[in-house]
Amino acid sequence: MKVIRANWTEKLLAVVLALFMWAAARGRQGPIDGKWEAPLAVRNLPKGMVLVARTTKVRFVVRGEPREVRRLKETLDPYVDLAGAGPGTHNFDVFYRLSGSVGVQHIDTIPPRARFELDRLTSRRLGVVVEVTGAAQEGYTLGARTVTPSEVVVRGREGLLARIAEVLATVDIGDPASPIRDTPVRLLDASRREIAGLSSEPPRVRVALQFQEQEASADVPVRHTTSGHVAADANLVAIRLNPQSVSLTGRVDLLREAREIQTEAIDLSGLRQSTDRRVRLIIPAGLRAATPTTVATIIVEPPKPEKQPVDREPEPAAKGKAKVPPKPTGKAETGDADDAGLHPPTGAKG
């Protein structure tokens, strides 16, 4: 223990000196290579221009003293300067910040020039076209359609604006109960594909649709109705209508329900003979008839006349025959022919 504790000051100083010499030797170590990626910044983008495509990162290859290489990784900050650039595709030099890095022997950037595409920002006023999908409900057809506003202002890249073939507002017409629709605006190219990267003001429009009732015509049979009765001693034979059918016009769904129409009641009270009467037709609501009336021919068998008793005259004798006298009563009924007065009186000559 005495040996260890002896000269401890000299021993401590020797250790410190050894560490210092080791650090100095390490500091004089040869250069190393460093590789890393860094985001590429943009400076001085011209007013009214927009980036379409760009290089976003660059790769650094650095050779130098280890301490300087490590410091550069935090301080290089690569960028490109776009001052004065116009629309189109350009290659720009990559710049970086390098100050006080005396221990750096070589710096490479990959790529050495960055590729950028620029376009001009602009706007255009374009008309809106209404496109309808679906089918109107049965009995209706689509009439006029209006859009408010009729134009929108489209903003974006000049190159994209040039591709616009149609500004479209699409509505489904299946529900006529909602004639006003709020719908988004779609910007389509010639292939009817939607173009991304553009905006419209306003982004939505109101489309007003006008629906009209769809009409058709059909012949519908007429059926008569009656009230009262003919005279008790008469007989109703038939009732014939002319015309027997009538053409109705109106909505398809209403026509489908009108399988027949009726006349107003024909009054038969007390009729004793045939007659013609013009009667009105009962037309269903919402339909129109080619003629509002029909003629009813009422055929009645009149009463038969009563039979009167007939006085008969005696029938005349047949021509060429003698009238036979009635038979005499008493002895004459049983007598001979003379007694019966069939011979001439006595004294007469034969």
Residues 129 and 74 in one domain: no
Q: Tell me the H-state helices in the chain.
A: 2-5, 8-27, 66-75, 158-161, 252-257
Residues 99 and 130 in one domain: no
Q: What CATH number is attached to the domain comprising 291? A: 2.170.120.40
- What pLDDT is stored for residue 250 in this prediction? 87
The number of beta carbons lying within 10 Å of the beta carbon of residue 168 is: 17
Tokens of 242: 């002319």
Task: Provide the residue-wise pLDDT of the chain in tens; the chain has 350 residues.
Answer: 455 555 667 767 777 677 766 665 555 556 777 888 889 999 999 999 999 999 999 998 888 777 777 777 777 889 999 999 999 999 999 998 776 566 676 788 889 999 999 999 999 999 999 998 888 777 677 888 899 999 999 999 999 999 999 999 998 887 666 778 899 999 999 999 999 999 999 999 999 988 777 788 999 999 999 999 999 888 999 999 999 999 999 888 888 888 899 999 999 998 989 999 999 999 999 899 999 999 999 999 987 776 666 555 555 555 554 555 555 544 433 333 333 333 333 333 33
Looking at the whole model, is its pTM more than 0.95? Answer: no
**DSSP string of 263-299, one letter each residue:** EPPEE-TT--S-EEEEEEEEPPTTEEES-SEEEEEEE
Say how many domains are in the chain. 3
- What pLDDT is stored for residue 307 in this prediction? 63
- What pLDDT is stored for residue 11 in this prediction? 67
Q: Which domain holds residue 239?
A: 216-301
CA angle 299, 303, 308 (to 5 degrees): 155
Question: Percentage helix, strand, coil, to 5, in the chain?
Answer: 15, 45, 40
Residues 126 and 209 in one domain: yes
- Cβ atoms of 140 and 209 closer than 8 Å: no
Residue 311 belongs to a domain:
no
Tokens of 140: 């209706």
- What pLDDT is stored for residue 149 in this prediction? 96
Residues 283, 163: Cα–Cα separation, whole Å: 58
Amino acid identity of 345?
P
Residues 203 and 127 in one domain: yes
- Cβ atoms of 46 and 82 closer than 8 Å: yes
Residues 248, 285: Cα–Cα separation, whole Å: 11
Tokens of 348: 């007469």
Residues 65 and 135 in one domain: no
- What pLDDT is stored for residue 345 in this prediction? 39
DSSP state of 319: T
Residues 130 and 101 in one domain: no
Residue 325 belongs to a domain:
no
Residues 223 and 296 in one domain: yes
Residues 172 and 127 in one domain: yes
